[in-house]
Structure 1
């Protein structure tokens, strides 16, 4: 059964609740409690989490206990959808469809102390998009990110304090060779460890899916999405030319795609949104390289 693997998956109660939202923005509380139990959570944990989320205005609740129906508010629906453009780019890189042109992309900002909150938010956004700090207020990425950086700066109203530039000639502390620069700038060992964990989880889930019950299918979907997010969030998605080869992230993502392909075969009548979010991406991956839409 799937449960032996599911209990090894570190999923927060809040992540579980948000992952169980169906296409009609509702959650079947009975199903939620079943999946929570399969993940080793108690009913009390789930009840307390639901109470917090309703207090925060993220859900409304109709009914009580396992017969209740939770409904996600607009605030929740707009804030939890994964960045599927990011996921598509990730798999395109793995398939050799996003070759690196040797250009480094830099962003610098000097937001004044009077706008400290916006400054901190800008820094966090740059790091979240894979930027590595070079020195105070200066960050680098191997991927084109100018549009996103400018969009975030506009949202935070700090556009006047942002500079973006590109170079094919980057030297830091005497290091100029691109792969050595990548090793110097990003914690590749820690990132690889996260992908090894993801690979082990996906390899454990795949055989379990073939005989999984409905609850097990949902539990695996939630666990797999959580492990995937945990592994890829700190990953700057460096091009293969900058990574040790073979790169474990490529193998881990291939194993995840195999699991999602299997999950989609048993898609429930009222699927949770996770199925829809990843279905299009997985279907794209399944196409032969060079195939047109």
Structure 2
């Protein structure tokens, strides 16, 4: 199986601002080629923690705490790609050698490489076939971009990022639930600012499908568990009147209150189930 991280890797030793700046330059190298080659020919999209880093810096930089900045900065660089040729392209533009997964390896990795940073520190670059929690079809359907120094970077949209972070909170490989809780809450806040942007640019029709995605996530088992067990509230991603959102009056007067009631009722049922079986409920749903 392709190794995810060097065994002696110590993320706490990395300076977060310098680390993000380093990855930012690498992202520009990948997407600088003319004609959208990276996305159109190789399907390369930034996913994982680096996607959260991009959206956090797009929308939350002025309001993040030191701990949030630390946890929002990823220690590796993850892409999804269409096939092994994506690794060939990345290897060429980043000047690194990828090891490609064989047909006999059970792994989401198409390829993995190490890249030197800060003396002898090695960081990981992954090319993935898919990511947990979000279908590849959904990722490509809702593809977004951010601009770094006039270079357009293809990245999963904030709601896909939120779905991925929520899955990671409960994933078997999660070793630090507090870190993932903070990251999930950052994705929620970034999603709300993103939807406010879309509302301003495209109006309410532009966000209807996104609001449906959020609703489905809020009433999913993971969405309900995250609220009852960690206080992670997907409903906070919905634009509100106090945000200055330019949505129809019916949205604030009828649709949003109805949605809050439905989600709260489902959370309450899960909370009762937890209590019946002796599972701690840290956050009670509102009546």
Is the shorter-chain TM-score for this pair beyond 0.5, marking a shared fold?
A: no
Bigger relative contact order, structure 1 or 2 (CA pairs below 8 A, ≥6 apart): 1
TM-score (norm 1): 0.30
TM-score (norm 2): 0.30
Greater radius of gyration (CA):
1
